[in-house]
Structure 1
Amino acid sequence: MRLLHVVLLGFGLLALTSCSRTQEQQLRSQAADDRPLANQPDLHEPSGVHSSGHVHAEHDHTDGHPQNAHEAGGHQGPTDADHHGSPLVATSSHERHGESHGRSEPQHRDHAGHNGHQHSGEQHAGEESKHIAIGDKVPDFEVTINGKSLKLSDLQDNGSLTEDGTLVLTFWCSFCHSCRHVEHRLDELAKQYKGKVGVIALDASAGETTDGVAKFVKKNKLTMPIALDADGTAADIFGVRVTTTTVVIDGNGVLRYCGQFGDDQHAFATDALKAVLAGEDVRLEKTGHKG
């Protein structure tokens, strides 16, 4: 019996020792889990690199700068200057396309027609047109004839040039192919109405000089007056985009016709002039600007 008690006491001590060791191991394991790892970042704090990069990305999308070339420049479609005439050349009143290329000869504007000649009256894209309309009184502007500065009003008051102030102005230049098809007919019109109507070739192209024009006129045996519009004011006033465009101004200084000089089948400017001189309405007051 005493032996049985000893055995039971031994088993009890053994069980108590095993339980204590199990609890100690659990406590040690729990303590190890509670310690922060030395090489492990705190997952609750944002990484400096990632958070900074994200912020920059937001700025990149919201700072207003275009993200690609299409947004920066856009695709430019065809311009409205593709006429059958010779687009007018830029002068000091607008940015000169040729200056960026360092050329010395008469330059062409950004918008090119068949012959690439464009007057200073050509307005930049987006600019509001401010030219006058048929029936409006033509404002005064200055030109140069034979090296002398004259105003439109001076020409209208010149009795040896025009009887009542009626004028025909055709936009022209010495290096435009379209003008070669018109200038001799214009010269004949000037001879026909000499002393009665002022028929004038109006040169609003960059690069032209009085001496250069004089040499061209002499070589080609032209007799009509050539007026230089150095700053392109006239082209702006009439909204002219191409050479050979012609305007007829009556004795009251009113614009009566603006458009083509004429072609093989039509004499638009001459017909308009005849109607003005007869005191009649111009049947066709405006035609497309075509060289």
Structure 2
Amino acid sequence: MKTTLKNIKGIYGVMLLCSVVFLIRCGNPMSEQTQQAVPEDSTAQFASENQVAETPDVTFRDENGKIVRLKDLRGKVVFINFWATWCGPCVAEMPSIDQLKASFKGSENIVFMLVDVDGDLKRSKSFMAKNKYNLPVFTAESAIPSDYLGGAIPTTVVLDKKGELVVRAEGGRDYMSPGIKKALTDLVRMPN
């Protein structure tokens, strides 16, 4: 009986450890690091919190097989969200990203890229269609710099029109919060 109880405790311990690792890897939106990265109600910090870095030569493949280079997107604000269909916080923030993109409808000065970290375009396209999201999906064709994607998803980065990294935010959030929307609008309105 003791051996069985010991085995059960061991199994629960492993399950607990796996759950903790999963939550950390999926980006805990309540973590102190996440809250400091991009406070949802702070326009100024959203646009300037993180260090500015020149755009590396990063390439993505879109859902139609076309290769997109970040360097070719200079002159536009680029909103990149790294996510996966199995990640709870990623799925939870999708409606607000979809609404945010819709709020910029008709603007040629901003590009939205939803990058499936699993590289499964078929599954991510199916996810978007099933949920009626109008979000373009991509996979990485080159290495992603650690400045963009560390070890947690969801992670969102925003590049300004010069191609400089101005935001890196780990963890899920409401992208329709007034501060975030205003900060992106300000970036879009800035001259090239």
The two structures have a TM-score, normalised by structure 2, of 0.64
Offset at 1:174?
1.3
Structure 2 partner of 1:234:
144
Q: How many residues align?
A: 148
Deviation digits for residues 15-73 of structure 1, max 9, x if unmatched? xxxxxxxxxxxxxxxxxxxxxxxxxxxxxxxxxxxxxxxxxxxxxxxxxxxxxxxxxxx
Counterpart of 1:149, as a letter, is I
Whole-Å separation in 2 of the counterparts to 1:174 and 1:153: 27
SS of structure 2 residue aligned to 1:169: strand
Counterpart of 1:250, as a letter, is D
Which residue of 172, 185, 192 maps to 1:274?
185
Deviation digits for residues 161-191 of structure 1, max 9, x if unmatched? xxx3111111111111111110111011111
Q: 1:236 to 1:253 in 2, by over 3 A?
A: same
SS of structure 2 residue aligned to 1:175: coil
Offset at 1:262?
3.0
Counterpart of 1:179, as a letter, is C
Which residue of 194, 200, 218 maps to 2:113?
200
Offset at 1:240?
2.6
Which residue of 67, 80, 84 maps to 1:169?
80
**Identical pairs, percent:** 20
CA radius of gyration, larger in? 1
1:243 matched to 2:161? The reply is no
Structure 1 partner of 2:23:
114
Structure 2 partner of 1:224:
135
Which residue of 163, 181, 190 maps to 1:253?
163
Offset at 1:112?
2.1
Q: 1:216 to 1:251 in 2, by over 3 A?
A: same
Whole-Å separation in 2 of the counterparts to 1:274 and 1:178: 24
Counterpart of 1:204, as a letter, is V
1:153 matched to 2:64? The reply is no
Whole-Å separation in 1 of the counterparts to 2:148 and 2:169: 10
Whole-Å separation in 2 of the counterparts to 1:212 and 1:115: 23
Deviation digits for residues 63-90 of structure 1, max 9, x if unmatched? xxxxxxxxxxxxxxxxxxx9xxxxxxxx
Offset at 1:225?
1.0
For the 8 Å contact 2:59–2:67, the answer to whether it is kept is yes
For the 8 Å contact 1:248–1:269, the answer to whether it is kept is no
Counterpart of 1:172, as a letter, is W
For the 8 Å contact 1:257–1:272, the answer to whether it is kept is no
Whole-Å separation in 1 of the counterparts to 2:155 and 2:182: 15
Q: 1:275 to 1:240 in 2, by over 3 A?
A: farther
For the 8 Å contact 1:189–1:199, the answer to whether it is kept is no
Counterpart of 1:141, as a letter, is V
Consecutive unaligned residues in structure 2, runs of 5 or more: 1-16, 28-49
Counterpart of 2:138, as a letter, is A
Whole-Å separation in 2 of the counterparts to 1:264 and 1:213: 20
Offset at 1:264?
8.9
SS of structure 2 residue aligned to 1:140: coil
Q: 1:267 to 1:177 in 2, by over 3 A?
A: farther
Counterpart of 2:155, as a letter, is T
Q: CA RMSD in A?
A: 3.1
The two structures have a TM-score, normalised by structure 1, of 0.44
Structure 1 partner of 2:53:
136
1:187 matched to 2:98? The reply is yes
Whole-Å separation in 1 of the counterparts to 2:176 and 2:131: 25
Offset at 1:241?
2.2
Give the structure with the larger strand fraction.
2
Consecutive unaligned residues in structure 1, runs of 5 or more: 1-81, 83-107, 119-132, 158-163, 281-291
